[in-house]
Structure 1
Amino acid sequence: MMNPRTFSPLRRTSFLPAVSPHIQPRLFSTSTVFLNSPTVALPAQKPVGAFRGGLIGFLFGSVVAGASVYYYILREYRVSNEMLTDDIYALQAASQRLNTYITELEARLDELQKKK
């Protein structure tokens, strides 16, 4: 684990290179040129009321959420409708096979009864 004292400001200065006497270090302050420059006023904007902005945001969010829920439910409805249709076709095919099997059995029973 590292010692927290190694990151103290006194320790950090030992890693910095020495400043030569000809170059002065740059200070992080504003110069007098920028302080004396005329400031330009920002254009006045029409304030948007919190109530109006909140109401518009709420309505926009409600519309987006409602539309996404509508399309999600519509997609789920289509998928379930297709699955139900496939199941109905499978049931119809199974009932037709059962119907043909029963008619064949009845025909065989009639033949056996005629032979006796």
Structure 2
Amino acid sequence: MAARLPTALRTLTITRPAAYVLKPTISQEARRSFQTSRRLLADAVVTTRRPVGAFRGTLFGFLLGSVLAGGGLYYYVIDEYKVSNELLTEDIYALQAAVQRIEGYVKTLEEDVKTKK
């Protein structure tokens, strides 16, 4: 790398005292080389990736959100249906018990009326 530097920079960096070498200076920063080798250029592989378009991303997000919301709603409705079905069944059994009690009272009243006649 020293062979690539101009002679003025080579002599400045070599003839400096040790105290100045430890401190970075403009001439040392200017020595940096921004070259690449053939091997680095040959290894560079260009891959073309199709970016996810905004339309496809939006459509996919909308469909995913709709499916998740629909699934949550389905389980909520099924749970509410089960609860209401259980309440209706309990009410039917309570009504059936009340009808049987009334039927028993009516039978006892009919027997009392027949015995009194």
Q: Scaled by the length of structure 2, what TM-score is found? A: 0.59
Which letter maps to 1:70? G
Give the corresponding residue for 2:112. Answer: 112
Give the corresponding residue for 1:43. Answer: 45
Once the 2 structures are TM-superposed, how far is the Cα of residue 83 of structure 1 from its aligned partner?
A: 1.1
Secondary structure at 1:95 match in 2: helix
Give the corresponding residue for 1:78. Answer: 78
Secondary structure at 2:46 match in 1: coil
Cα deviation digits, residues 70-107 of structure 1 (max 9, x gap): 10111011111101210221111011101111111101
Once the 2 structures are TM-superposed, how far is the Cα of residue 25 of structure 1 from its aligned partner?
A: 8.6
Cα deviation digits, residues 25-78 of structure 1 (max 9, x gap): 99xxx8x68x456263543232546xx611111111011101101101110111
**Residue 65, structure 1, aligned to residue 65, structure 2:** yes
Per chain length, whose mean CA-contact separation is higher, i.e. which structure has more relative contact order (CA < 8 Å, sep 6+)? 2
Give the corresponding residue for 1:5. Answer: none
- Segments of 5+ residues of structure 2 without an aligned counterpart are 1-18
Q: Distance in 2 between matches of 1:95 and 1:60?
A: 52
Segments ≥4 residues shifted beyond 6 Å? none
Q: Distance in 1 between matches of 2:68 and 2:46?
A: 38
Q: Distance in 2 between matches of 1:77 and 1:92?
A: 22
Give the aligned CA root-mean-square deviation in angstroms: 3.1
Structure with the bigger percentage of helix: 2
Which letter maps to 2:77? Y
Q: Scaled by the length of structure 1, what TM-score is found? A: 0.60
